[in-house]
């Protein structure tokens, strides 16, 4: 039986990754600072990474990160050193203990902010991460993931099999309200009126269902692709239009309140899907994802 370690296993991506690996017959060990009920775990990822006698897993899926949502990205800069420590400890441990391979969950936040503002609007290709001439990724979280990718390359240079994926705006039925999709669905379930959208409402995102994030990432591993891969659809949808889809599914027409004083993020973040689509084709449309979410209970 194949074995996997999933870090951040109580988080949104981590718990879906754990469930999918188990469904495929893998033996999965999860680690997080808390379990699914919010209780502290006996060992979190940093504690495991200090061990020299760890089992040798067939796959280490590194999902763990502290608060990778917009409010924290903009408002909690001290997450930067914690997340850097987490990633560096993981790669050091993986090399030191001879792990078989690592799937590193990077982020679309690695792409330079200047490529996501103004015109012309462009899809972000995997090559568009040049930080020369003062072009920077999206806030401290983007720097963390960009640096994590550099650590991944260093680990690969000494023989570790590493796969790097860059999810765009992952969403799903059980997403927490710290993320836009989860917050919108929660507001619609409670039939809030007015319905609040942070920022201008015109910011565009590339929404990819969590099932496609997980299946797509594992397809990258199965294909043994060792260059970064966008997990995306290549389709952009405004926050305002997403809210319109959600409120129609909920069957009500609230007043929309645009709150320009809340974090908005970049104007246009849509991935170039060509590399991804040569490996895996997303299965769940945004319309279907919204319908699934509105049929489910409250988000966890």
3-state secondary structure 223-280: CCCCCCEEECCCCCEEHHHHHHHHHHHHCCCCCEEEECCCCCCCCEECECCHHHHCCC
pLDDT at site 32: 86
pLDDT at site 43: 67
Nearest by Cα to 32 from 54, 52, 50, 11: 11
pLDDT at site 299: 41
pLDDT at site 75: 54
Nearest by Cα to 235 from 286, 200, 280, 184: 286
* Positions of the chain with pLDDT under 50: 69-72, 298-300
Residue 166 to residue 67: CA distance in whole angstroms: 17
pLDDT at site 34: 57
H runs (alpha helix) in 103-238: 139-157, 180-189, 210-222
pLDDT at site 279: 98
Residue 264 to residue 201: CA distance in whole angstroms: 8
pLDDT at site 72: 47
Assigned token pair, 232: 């995306």
In DSSP terms, 4 is beta-bridged to: 28, 59
pLDDT at site 118: 79
Q: The pTM is what?
A: 0.92
pLDDT at site 300: 40
Task: Pick one of 3.60.60.10, 1.10.940.10, 3.40.50.720, 3.30.1280.10 as the CATH number of 3-171+207-235+270-282.
Answer: 3.40.50.720
Residue 125 to residue 104: CA distance in whole angstroms: 18
Residue 33 to residue 51: CA distance in whole angstroms: 17
For residue range 130-184, list pLDDT tens digits in order. Answer: 765 556 777 788 889 999 999 999 999 999 999 999 999 999 999 999 899 999 9
């Amino acid at each position: 039986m194949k074995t996997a370690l999933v870090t951040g296993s109580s988080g949104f991506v981590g718990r879906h990754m754990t469930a999918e690996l188990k469904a495929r017959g893998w033996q999965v060990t999860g680690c997080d600072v808390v379990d699914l009920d919010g209780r502290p775990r006996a060992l979190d990822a940093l504690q495991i990474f200090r061990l020299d006698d760890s089992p040798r897993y067939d796959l280490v899926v590194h999902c763990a990160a502290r608060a990778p949502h917009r409010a924290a990205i903009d408002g909690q800069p001290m997450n930067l050193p914690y997340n850097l420590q987490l990633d560096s400890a993981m790669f050091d441990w993986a090399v030191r203990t001879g792990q078989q391979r690592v799937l590193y969950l990077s982020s679309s936040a690695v792409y330079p902010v200047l490529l996501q503002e103004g015109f012309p609007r462009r899809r972000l290709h995997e090559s568009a991460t040049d930080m020369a001439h003062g072009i920077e990724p999206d806030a401290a979280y983007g720097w963390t993931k960009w640096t994590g990718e550099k650590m991944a390359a260093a680990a690969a240079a000494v023989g570790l099999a590493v796969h790097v994926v860059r999810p765009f705006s992952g969403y799903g039925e059980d997403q927490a309200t710290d993320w836009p999709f989860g917050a919108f669905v929660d507001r619609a379930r409670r039939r809030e009126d007015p319905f609040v959208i942070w920022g201008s409402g015109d910011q565009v995102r590339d929404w990819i269902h969590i099932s496609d994030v997980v299946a797509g990432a594992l397809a990258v591993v199965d294909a043994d692709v060792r260059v970064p891969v966008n997990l995306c659809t290549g389709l952009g949808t405004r926050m305002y239009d997403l809210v319109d889809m959600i409120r129609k599914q909920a069957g009500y027409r609230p007043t929309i309140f645009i709150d320009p004083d809340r974090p908005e993020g970049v104007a246009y973040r849509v991935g170039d899907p060509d590399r991804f689509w040569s490996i895996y084709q997303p299965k769940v449309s945004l319309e279907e994802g919204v319908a699934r979410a509105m049929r489910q209970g409250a988000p966890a």
